[in-house]
Structure 1
């Protein structure tokens, strides 16, 4: 079931309608989100680096990826500087509600993975009880690299895994959020620690590792042009069903040899993971799935 006007595959529709397909949100789904002055929310690597450096580009080797730039700032000015920057962007700035997140939040989905640090989906779920799983790094005294919070429809409460209500829908934010606490995976050192423990099985709670078996994934607006994002996805979607899922990024590719090489790496990764690329913008994909899901209900 695929055409120029309807590129959503039938297998995706079935998986989404049955609750077996997990949306994975990347920076592309924040396109068009602005503050009161019309300034776009920093979401992708380049925009985050520029925002962190007062609008000025950093050295080319630091512009390569946000974690590298954040590590440079952390070494020069301390970890609190990076955290303060991310709090200013994602907690203290009044961003307009995202139509994409509002529509996604209205669906009764049991599990969503958000690879961004914003709070749009938490706001969309503000009247919905849920579990929040947040990635953390470089903590002492424990191997687990996550924190658990349970939302009762009014506020979050930190909980231990043995107290989790596993029937609640889950929002997994691997690289952090400012709410209810400022917890971020940001610098190279954070990612090294988090990915190491994620690969070892300590990056997500046991109940979530059990729940994810055989699931399929829909990557929305998530470019896979850097090793960091590919490694995160590789371990987060472990134990996926077959096919693993679908990828819808909307990322443009120039004709440069570097861009061609990046595109080739993304293509090989998708093929290796069993993720089918679909020619559709994230918002268009979501709207089609909403419509087709309603028709099949």
Structure 2
């Protein structure tokens, strides 16, 4: 499978999809690398009922309801705006010559830092409807400047429709997509129950998915690293982001998968790699170093 993954990468047909567990590769200075670690920081900053103290989305919703949305944004920003360097794996991915799309399904900015070595790239982040009503995606250039969406009107109704993507975003050679938002540049966070309800209400018809993502993913294979698919939110986002892509994918999923994970992998034709993230990354990068096509940049 390593050879197949590297071959797809060499053809520009692989989309890495990173989850929170990848942050463990960045060392002790990295931001929270799991929902459990993140909810611990939220509940340390605000009192939350005991029964939801370990539930990230419910705890965030409680704080938003009783403390204000600004409290959530402040705590999330503090958790992820840390002085952490990208891991070697982040840097290795960013240096691949054919990398049309990267998905980072967490809130950190380590891939942004790693991508500074590239030209002609940009960022698309999911946005909370409580802060950007009617705007599902925020677009940014590498320097952090925002690119406004192109407004349009619903046919015949006179109401505003979700904004079209700015034309320049469709021309980037590399797009970093953060469906849950991100600490940088705009401090967008999809984290509370209401945030997810808004997105999931529309995601089946692809409204929150950027146009460039929908275009790039056609015929591509996804490589999931540092992700789990144990709960409905994780599966729903992965399913909708990889919609209309190829019929061959991979996921690094160490340990015994849950029944729901097994069903999801079978449903989406995702081959499971039973290996720790650390061991997989070591084998992947070693394989690239031995590949004639990738040797010069491995």
Give the TM bin, normalised by the shorter chain.
0.7 to 0.9
Q: CA deviation at 1:215?
A: 1.1
- Counterpart CA distance in 2 for 1:99 and 1:142 is 37
* Match in the other structure for 1:13: 6
Correspondence for 2:93 among 104, 110, 123: 104
CA offsets 1:164-191 (integer angstroms, 9 cap, x no match):
1524200000011121111110101001
1:126 is paired with a residue of what secondary structure? helix
- TM normalised by structure 2 equals 0.83
- Counterpart CA distance in 1 for 2:50 and 2:26 is 27
- Counterpart CA distance in 2 for 1:89 and 1:140 is 20
1:219 is paired with a residue of what secondary structure? strand
* Match in the other structure for 2:26: 33
2:246 equivalent to 1:246: no
Q: CA RMSD in A?
A: 2.5
Correspondence for 2:221 among 216, 220, 238: 216
- TM normalised by structure 1 equals 0.83
Correspondence for 2:168 among 164, 168, 171: 164
- Counterpart CA distance in 2 for 1:230 and 1:65 is 17
2:264 equivalent to 1:269: yes
* Match in the other structure for 2:16: 23
1:94 is paired with a residue of what secondary structure? coil
Runs (5+) with no aligned partner, structure 2:
150-164, 294-298
CA contact (8 A) 1:17 1:293 kept: no
* Match in the other structure for 2:158: none
Runs (5+) with no aligned partner, structure 1:
1-7, 254-261
CA spacing shift, 1:40–1:171, aligned 2, 3 Å: closer
**Which of 67-76 and 136-145 deviates more?**
136-145
- Counterpart CA distance in 2 for 1:172 and 1:231 is 16
* Match in the other structure for 1:130: 121
* Match in the other structure for 1:148: 139
2:210 equivalent to 1:201: no
Q: CA deviation at 1:40?
A: 5.6
**Which of 176-185 and 124-133 deviates more?**
124-133
CA spacing shift, 1:193–1:56, aligned 2, 3 Å: closer
- Counterpart CA distance in 2 for 1:136 and 1:115 is 13
* Match in the other structure for 2:194: 189
CA offsets 1:118-165 (integer angstroms, 9 cap, x no match):
0101111124231201001215896441111222xx443424324315
CA contact (8 A) 1:100 1:283 kept: no
CA spacing shift, 1:267–1:159, aligned 2, 3 Å: same
* Pairs within 5 Å for 1:11-90: 11-34=4-27, 38=28, 41-54=31-44, 61-63=51-53, 65-90=55-80
Q: CA deviation at 1:32?
A: 4.7
- Counterpart CA distance in 2 for 1:170 and 1:25 is 14
- Counterpart CA distance in 1 for 2:183 and 2:238 is 22
Correspondence for 2:275 among 247, 257, 280: 280
**Which of 110-119 and 280-289 deviates more?**
280-289
